[in-house]
Amino acid sequence: MLRPYEILLKAGLRPTRQRLDLAGLIFGASGRHLTAKELYQFARESDVSVSLATVYNALNQFADASIIKRIPVDRGLVYFDTDINAHHHFYVDGEDRIIDIGSDAISFGGFHEIPDGYVISGVEIVIRLQRCGQTSKCIASVAEEMSIETDPPDEKPSDI
Ligand SMILES: [Zn+2]
């Protein structure tokens, strides 16, 4: 695996101290998804002295140089991903959590409404999830998905 210095040089980015520190944090763990604010927090905890603006700039420069990938999730919420291979994501509303989905897990059929003169350069999907609460609608939909029959909760209690 390449070291931050080599990653930056290969991408044509001058390996400044701050870029090196931030790249070291980002690439320290593989498959990491981070927002700028999370990286800023991580930098502070790691005694890397940078401003939030510097973190934003560096992440955008890294994404422009294709060494990380942008995942726009919501208006104003962008995750950055160290896995630059094509794949999809689940985003869990209310938990600020993003989960990888393999590129083969979603398939498309009969999609040929592409404007003349264009080709599809990539398809990356963010599927928004909400944690299933204890509402009857939620329980029924999960049960239906799993082909389980549900008993109304107040019907004869069972001794197991
Ligand atoms: Zn990912």
Measured CA distances, 49 to 9, 58, 107 (Å): 22, 14, 44
Range 1-84: architecture per CATH: Orthogonal Bundle (1.10)
Q: What is the pTM of this model?
A: 0.76
71 pLDDT exceeds 90? yes
pLDDT tens track for 55-69: 999 999 999 999 999
CB atoms within 10 A of CB 148: 10
Residue ranges covered by each domain of the chain: 1-84, 87-152
Distance 112 CA to ligand 1 centre (A): 26
Distance 136 CA to ligand 1 centre (A): 32
Distance 107 CA to ligand 1 centre (A): 17
Mean pLDDT lowest for which of 7-21, 71-85, 143-157? 143-157
pLDDT tens track for 44-54: 999 999 999 99
Distance 125 CA to ligand 1 centre (A): 11
